[in-house]
Amino acid sequence: MISRAEAARALGVSKEAVYKAVKDGRLSHKECVDGTIRVNSETMREEWERKTQKRIGVGPKPPGDGGEKPALRSRADRMTPRITKTNEAIPDYDESRARTEHLKAELLELERKTKEGLLVPAADVEAKWAEIVVMARTKILGIPTKAKQRIPDLDVDAITALDDIVRETLEDLAASAPEEDDE
């Protein structure tokens, strides 16, 4: 029979975990005359394994004095990407945190510029340009009519020729415009 603290060291868990296991009845124990509780060292490991639910990354540690800490990884080791089952590198925590903070700062900067009116949505810009192009087209198509009003001596053939030139020019401009990407 051993104390709960000794049982915790032997199992590689915290004293609190052993105290809770004793209280919940997951470990066999006896109360001594002096009021101390002793754990059955012969059945302790088997009962612990059978009656305690395992958690990922948590569980019995290898036997030792309990004061050991894992060796710290060097900076070079931390900067070396780890490979997962999918062969994708997992960045170091500090690197991930720095990236996250950088992206948050960029988003805040964009939000600030939008509120200041320095940035506008692309859809608004596109709509305004479409409006400008339609207005320019309308004005250009009106050139032959204005020419007839200002130069009354122009005959119908001259007006028709001027109209043809304007329409041909607009068609050339439309044909040479870059294609829109439908992504």
> Around Cβ 7, how many Cβ atoms within 10 Å?
27
| Per-residue pLDDT of the chain in tens (183 residues, 90 and over written 9) | 888 888 888 888 888 888 888 888 888 888 888 888 888 888 888 888 887 776 655 555 555 555 555 666 666 666 666 655 555 667 778 888 899 999 999 999 999 998 998 888 889 999 999 999 999 999 999 999 899 899 888 898 999 999 999 999 999 888 887 766 554
Amino acid letter for position 110: L
Backbone angles phi, psi at 63, to 5 degrees: -60, 145
Per-residue model confidence (pLDDT) at position 183: 47
Bridging pattern class, strands 89-90 and 82-83: antiparallel
| Angle CA 7–13–16, to nearest 5 | 80
Per-residue model confidence (pLDDT) at position 83: 58
Terminal-residue alpha carbon distance, the chain: 73
User: Domains of the chain: which residue ranges?
Assistant: 2-51, 75-116, 122-176
